Amino acid sequence: MAIFNSADILLPKNVDFAKWSVVACDQYSSEPEYWKKAAELADGSPSTLNIIYPEAYLNEADGDKRIENINRTMEKYLEDGIFNEYKDSLIYVERTQQNGKTRCGIVGCIDLEAYDYSVGSQSPVRATEGTIISRIPPRQRIRRNAPLELPHILMLADDRKKEIIEPLAEIKDKLEVVYDFELMQGGGHIKGWLLDDATKAKVLELVEKLECQKGFEEKYGVSGKGVLAIAVGDGNHSLATAKACWEEIKKTLPEEGQKNHPARFALAELENLHDDALEFEPIHRVVFDVDPEAVIKAMYEYYPQMTETDNGGQKIVITYQGTEKTVYISDAPANLAVGTFQQFMDKYLAENDGEIDYIHGADVVRNLTKPENTIGFIFDAMEKNDLFTTVIKDGALPRKTFSMGESYDKRFYLECKKIK
């Protein structure tokens, strides 16, 4: 079975796509006003907002009721026949971002049998960052009884020659357009084309070549390593949740019934790591309900070599109540500053009160840390060209190390697939 394949893709018909499509649920998690505005814009129309669980609301007391409503709405959408189903399909996507750059991808499905998020995984589809296991069960509650899935998952191919996705731009005018609209709240523009059978076969053949052991070893100068053909760029915890749910379902099925069960395959968009529009953004940290001065003091004690003088070490910008300082840590225990910081913060929060959130955008961090008892940590971006090599040789990066673009450039929910 191919690790990436075509899917039976559902798209709504006779709806306002601008109201239907909303950004990934893990965005704006500390900004509920964003989601309130999304609800105003959706304005009672069919919308993916009604069938996702924004993480801004995860701590609310009515979680079970919200999940019931999500599943009930999914069932209603299916019963009302609001979808067109595109059987055995791939969709070529162009997303024009807020900065005017256009990134390209292909929507299909990942075989979850080829994906493993555990530490030290050598599976052909692999997490690029550490998976926070505790984040999976709450998401399983949402997915477990859902008849549909919606992807905000972005997968990456290390296609340096740009052979798989980029050539589709040259033939797109010959393909059927399945959506073309402006995304809400500054999300840019998105347009999708349905691949014809010949083009689909060519794309899948090229993706399959990424699984070649000999080519993999020559490309990365390694031996004795499992092939990393496709890496998770965004949405790893969503994919991990799909995997965990599939493992539950698989136990109830005979071997033959496992081969084509819809829950075995997760809808996702595949992009090229070397797409010029694809930029890696750092994911910053904000810690709430703490004394900023006490946190900084503890950090100096944990890393006595930390200094405000540039000693060539790893750089971290600390901000709270409108003040800002830059510190440097030499002889760091991790390859990246964010990993070095996380080692300290994990220990600190295990011993002290406080709550951490992972934030996109340095300006958002500065705004969130204006109130008392809040502190932010801002990091530089990592080089995206090092991603595959680092994961192959060293394993997954520290959790929440990087993000592919700012929040408004994240994947929006749009396509659906049945998982029951």
Same domain, 169 and 288: no
Average pLDDT estimate for 100-115 = 97
Question: What are 268's two structure tokens?
Answer: 């996702």
Same domain, 167 and 314: no
pLDDT at 328 over 70: yes
Tens of pLDDT, residues 377-417: 999 988 888 899 889 988 888 878 887 878 899 999 999 99
- 400 and 392 Cβ atoms separated by less than 8 Å: no
Q: Report if residue 166 sits inside a domain.
A: yes
Query: What gap in Å lies between CA 406 and CA 281, rounded to an integer?
Result: 7
pTM of the model: 0.84
Query: What gap in Å lies between CA 320 and CA 371, rounded to an integer?
Result: 8
Q: Report if residue 284 sits inside a domain.
A: yes
Q: Report if residue 395 sits inside a domain.
A: no
Same domain, 155 and 222: yes
pLDDT at 22: 97
pLDDT at 134: 87
Tens of pLDDT, residues 307-318: 999 999 999 999
- Into how many domains does the chain fold? 2
Same domain, 194 and 259: yes
Q: Report if residue 392 sits inside a domain.
A: no
Cα distances from 8 to residues 5, 77, 265, 308, 408, in angstroms, run 10, 16, 10, 55, 28
Same domain, 264 and 182: yes
Q: Report if residue 257 sits inside a domain.
A: yes
Average pLDDT estimate for 219-235 = 94
Same domain, 290 and 266: no
Same domain, 233 and 290: no
Same domain, 273 and 192: yes
Across the chain, mean pLDDT equals: 94
Same domain, 368 and 270: no
- Output DSSP code: residue 118: S
pLDDT at 149 over 90: yes
Same domain, 301 and 273: no
| Of 140-144, 278-282, 303-307, minimum mean pLDDT range | 278-282
Residue 95 neighbours by CB distance under 10 Å: 24
pLDDT band at 1 (very low <50, low <70, confident <90, very high): low
| Residue 228 domain boundaries | 4-279+409-418
pLDDT at 335 over 80: no
Same domain, 128 and 42: yes
Same domain, 287 and 275: no
Average pLDDT estimate for 33-45 = 94
Average pLDDT estimate for 41-65 = 91
